[in-house]
Amino acid sequence: MMLYINAPQTTGEQVKDQQSSQELFFDKWQHLYSDRTESMRSSEVRDLLAVTERPDIIALAGGAPYTKALNLDKMSRILGEIMKDGPAPLNYGSSEGYEPLRVWLTKFMADEDVACTPDDIVITDGSQQGLELVGKIFVNPGDTIIAEAPSYVGALNAFLSYQANIIQIECDDNGLKIDKVAEELEQLKKRGITPRFIYVIPSFQNPSGGTMSLARRKKLVKLARAYNTLIVEDNAYRRLSFEEEPLASIKTLDPDNVVYLGTFSKILSPGLRVGWVVAPRPIREKLIFAKQAADLCSSSLTQRVVTAYFAETDMKTHLKKLIGIYIKRRDKMLNACEEYFPRGVKWTKPKGGFFVWVTLPEYLDTTNMLAKAVEQKVAYVPGKAFFADGTGRNCMRLNYSFMKESDIREGVRRLAEVVEQEMELYRSLKL
């Protein structure tokens, strides 16, 4: 039997606070679990919630939008009006999703030059469920998929839960290195392996903030076709472009060979848990079957809330307001990085989205450093969370969307002090 500690993963002062409450017991059900539980892992972002929710912590670790920017009076009124229409919002809905919302989404997608009908769309509990459903319908144990390095921790965990073999390909300032993807695909072909899909976040990527160039998007489409595989495009941040018009979605470039995932979590509210998938009809059918087995349907109430909110809210005006807030916070973080981080530290300069990716000297480990950062009342996400093989230990993800500007500057200052102390310790020990 396996020894199990009944306590969440913790860091810094949390460890001290919870030591007395930890409970040790044997997991007597170990022999009953499926093999896939061996590849499941906890999300380091979720593990940090208990820390980041503390009022004394400057939380640069999350990935949430600034929901205080929403018109909460309007949201409250909409909820009241929905409930006056009868009990339908409190009942089950269709597995494919609330039809008025799917109709609205066809117009929203048309703004990206993605042509689709309501029958091409399935509503999900955020795009996270979309990722889990994609893993469920495509991945058998040991199957290969290709992703960016680094990549979204929630996607990696969803695919790993189905025992995928994830090959991550490095990125540069123009996004995923397509020549490296081509080399990997050719090597896999020689071994008789066809990747189930290539997973990408092409615009303002989580966690790096980087964007794949249009030229590389076009090459990726051709590669996927040439090697008979699929592209899964996670476009959570595309609409949050700060400096220029967003690049064409990959779905636009190849409508028939791309599964597109979208979400309202980054442009409205993650608490509503509403996302969507646009997919070719045969794939959509399998996604609906998988969703029925998972939760029957998404919330009838929150789907109506989203539909009603944007029925009376101009999307362009709404996004312009959010972008105005996030540009200032991005600039505050980049300026603070420039002011406080010691020589030898590098960081990305995103043109949209929520994140800055920081790379420290290779001898530092951001997982080990996290407890010291929390002691200084600042939190981040260690880099290894964004690699299936646990590399990236000298990297970390910082978020600027949620904290106010003064806290961002102070948080980076505190973090830079911890980094400087770790670098000085290394130098003093002559490691």
pLDDT recorded at residue 4: 52
C-alpha 81: how far from chain center: 32
The stretch 71-80 carries a mean pLDDT of 96
pLDDT recorded at residue 48: 73
Torsion angles phi and psi, residue 270, rounded to 5: -70, -25
Torsion angles phi and psi, residue 15, rounded to 5: -60, -45
pLDDT recorded at residue 26: 84
All structural domains of the chain, each given as residue ranges with its CATH number in brackets, are 2-37 (no CATH), 44-70+317-429 (3.90.1150.10), 92-311 (3.40.640.10)
Rounded Cα gap, residues 9 and 20, in angstroms = 14
Given the structure tokens 């909820």, which residue do they identify?
Answer: 79
Mean pLDDT of the chain: 93
Amino acid at 408: I
Percent of the chain residues past pLDDT 90, beyond the cut: 86
Token pair, residue 328, equals 């200032």
Rounded Cα gap, residues 157 and 152, in angstroms = 9
Amino acid at 223: L
- Give Dmax over CA atoms of the chain in angstroms: 71
Are 377 and 12 in contact by the 8 Å Cβ rule? The answer is: no
Q: Map residue 415 onto helix, strand or coil.
A: helix
Element (H, E) at 168: strand 165-172
Rounded Cα gap, residues 138 and 132, in angstroms = 10
Give 376-423 pLDDT, tens digit per residue. Answer: 999 999 999 999 999 999 999 999 999 999 999 999 999 999 999 999
Residues 6+ apart with CB under 8 A from 54: none
Neighbour tally for 235: CB within 10 Å: 24
- Helices then strands, each counted (H, E), the chain: 15, 16
Percent of the chain residues past pLDDT 70, beyond the cut: 93
The β-bridge partners of 358 are: 347, 396
H, E, C per residue of 197-226 = EEEECCCCCCCCCCCCCHHHHHHHHHHHHH
Q: Map residue 275 onto helix, strand or coil.
A: strand
Are 403 and 59 in contact by the 8 Å Cβ rule? The answer is: yes
Rounded Cα gap, residues 375 and 12, in angstroms = 6
* Predicted confidence (pLDDT) at residue 303 exceeds the cutoff of 90: yes
More confident site: 312 or 47: 312
Nearest to 198 by CA among 214, 172, 180: 180
Are 270 and 129 in contact by the 8 Å Cβ rule? The answer is: no
Is residue 372 packed enough to be buried (19+ CB in 10 Å), middle (13-18) or exposed (0-12)?
A: middle
Give 249-277 pLDDT, tens digit per residue. Answer: 999 999 999 999 999 999 999 999 999 99
